[in-house]
Amino acid sequence: MFEGKSIGLVLSGGGVRGMAHIGLIKALKEHGLEAQMVAGSSVGALVGALYANGNSVESMLDFFRKTPLFQYSFFAINKPGFIDTERYFSIFKGYFPKDTFESLEKPLYVVATDLLSGEEKVFNQGELILPLLASAALTPVFSPVEIEGILYADGGIMNNFPKEYLEDKVDFLIGSNVSIAAEIHKNDLRNSIQLAGRVTSLMIYASSKEKVNQCHLFIEPKELDKIGVLDKKGIENAFSIGYEHGNRAIEQLLASKNYTSS
């Protein structure tokens, strides 16, 4: 079914849950499937960049295992946010030494939020690392990133599943949404912080749900809801969940009597 067809891969934001993206990529590789271009927001942009860079699955996981989320020396001083996002630049430089979109093996579209105009911004050429940092600058934890005088933050604020940048460029869309809003219990909303988090996750999920379902193949594992967005202990579990769901989705598609018309 994929012979002669171009494939696009769309990866959502979702923090540590984004390791499920890497699990899906492993499943795709094992079935001989390779995307020709990628679009992502937040952690989806980071995974997408590593994939577009030609990094192996193990190398992608190592990037997240070794990148310190809360390092004391990275605390922001005289900046909004608790963590100075730009302190991660040198870490990223080790993985993307040429620091350009053009140096990647595949076209990549990275979404960030322009905090000044309140609009989304897509980066796909020129300098690479600062747009990646901006897209993954989850507020209010990480400080915004300044690019050409504009402050940018988490791409998921405006567009957590940016399939628009691929849908007219490829024949087949594969999506991975890890921003899950599973059903919760009344006692899970005991304070204003929990309430705010729930409302935010519902808003992000609602804006992505229809777009995710428009993909030819997608995963949206509900089990990821139990993994904290910034909980590095969840890396291996999220990866395994993504791999299992990816394999299942691919096998179901291949077994479908109607898949050839997709």
- Single out the catalytic residue among 154, 176, 179, 201: 154
- Six token digits for residue 4: 């002669």
The structure tokens listed for 210 are 């229809």
DSSP 123: E
C-beta separation of 128 from 104 below 8 A: yes
* Closest to 22 measured CA to CA, from 238, 254, 186, 257: 238
Q: For residues 15 and 197, what is the distance between their CA atoms, to the nearest angstrom?
A: 14
Find, among 162, 136, 174, 132, the residue nearest to 36 by Cα: 174
Q: Is 143 a catalytic residue?
A: no
**Contact criterion met (CB below 8 Å) for 23 and 221:** no
Active-site position among 12, 41, 42, 176: 42
- Residue 246 near residue 24, CB atoms below 8 Å: yes
| 103 is an active site residue | no
- CB within 8 Å of 236: residues ≥ 6 apart: 19
- CB atoms near residue 259 (< 10 Å): 14
Residue type, 238: A
Which residues are the active-site residues? 42, 154
